[in-house]
Structure 1
């Protein structure tokens, strides 16, 4: 039997109309935030970044694909990983459906990771994805845009992530911790796994010059998780106490996840 309150249709409608006002206020606030994002000053990028793509070596300007706007998802896939991060994979499952629509609205959506291109291509085939995915292997792109840290930075203890200081001092992980489990599944260790971080960045190309316009990290990526937008409207909401999701080809015959979480806030 449900432990949630029940009521009549009339009671539900009254409560729903009250909630509707709050939803409308949130929508108006979200529209306002979108305008403020677009009003951020653009920062010219003069540094030469090089990427490996399916079409060959590319510059940052090349990643625009002839369009004037570029959205980059910083996918957690380090050079030493055997597969992509499962959380990033859950987000990326929604990319293919959006890429074609964005392309017809002068926007290119592309993932970028530090792993070599061959690893990205193999994983992309496994997942059945078709969206553009570039390798920044050997370059500074992910470091410069706040989604990768070096071993030296990790040893130093504190880095800037999500526009604030974050302690990344390596600490021993219990052998059965979520981080250790994920790292082991990627064929690496917890410290190496933690050197990659999620994020997204936006760029504009104008008169042949690339500008950085926006970046977001951590919970700033919530809106990109399509499954969470649905869960927030489900009867029990997110209803989670830990990491429950898997890569989409790993759900069959999988044990139930435990209640521990590695997610940041």
Structure 2
């Protein structure tokens, strides 16, 4: 950030006494408590959604070999799947998904000891996932659904025909057909929008990049039967993106005009 922008940003903030700060903080606290109560209610409503039996025999490639959806539970009765954007044609995983996944290892062990398995699923071949996982230093389970329908059925992947001819269903909304976007679109112009920057950083054109979408899905295993219980996408993932929970409490908040984040091993390289 330039000094001029810094000064402009600082000028927008009120300077006050400790007493004025405390009065404003107490007023904000009441709204924060209400938000917490609303969040608790949202959690109860998620858990109250009807369970939908999963009858299709989804298969995955994992570090332990070919696996079923039930196998991904790893002995627990609950499974949380992060739909990680890493398509078969990607050269590397999505940087945005990577920034979210950076937090997984820290709490996956706690979830695993509370009857919940956290895993990622992507359509890239397992060898690509394993190499990228090693590069990032991650240990959470990551399965490939390359030859199956899992990502397509849970609205995290789309065919080129869907994207260009019929449109796609994402985040419970219909998106119209999308024309092909050249690989170089936005690159020379320095476009900092996440779709363009993420596409560049995954080694794809924007159209190919956007045939994968981020999301998470929850499943339960009861009496040998797998049930789908919940899915969320797009801004519904904000609460899982630990970086933003901290930024929302920083003095200048998210303070962003474009895509500023990188994979954690790429800072300082640009």
CA RMSD in angstroms comes to 1.2
Structure 2 stretches lacking a partner, 5+ long: 1-6
2:122 paired residue number: 113
Q: Distance in 1 between matches of 2:167 and 2:76?
A: 37
Partner SS, residue 251 of structure 2: coil
- Cα shift readout 1:30-87 (whole Å, capped 9, x = no counterpart): 0000000000000000000000000111000000000000000000000111100000
Structure 1 residue ranges, 4+ long, deviating more than 4 angstroms after superposition: none
8 A contact 2:83–2:151 mirrored in 1 = yes
Partner SS, residue 239 of structure 1: coil
8 A contact 2:97–2:214 mirrored in 1 = yes
State which of 119, 129, 139 in structure 1 corresponds to 2:138.
Answer: 129
Does 2:232 align with 1:216?
Answer: yes
The 5 Å alignment of 1:230-245 reads: 230-245=246-261
> How many residues matched?
254
TM-score by length of 2: 0.91
Q: Out of 85-94 and 1-10, give the one that drifted further.
A: 1-10
8 A contact 2:78–2:221 mirrored in 1 = yes
TM-score by length of 1: 0.93
CA-CA distance at 1:168 after TM superposition: 4.4
CA-CA distance at 1:171 after TM superposition: 4.2
1:32 paired residue number: 41
2:162 paired residue number: 153
Q: Distance in 1 between matches of 2:253 and 2:141?
A: 32
Structure 1 stretches lacking a partner, 5+ long: 255-265
Q: Distance in 2 between matches of 1:168 and 1:218?
A: 19
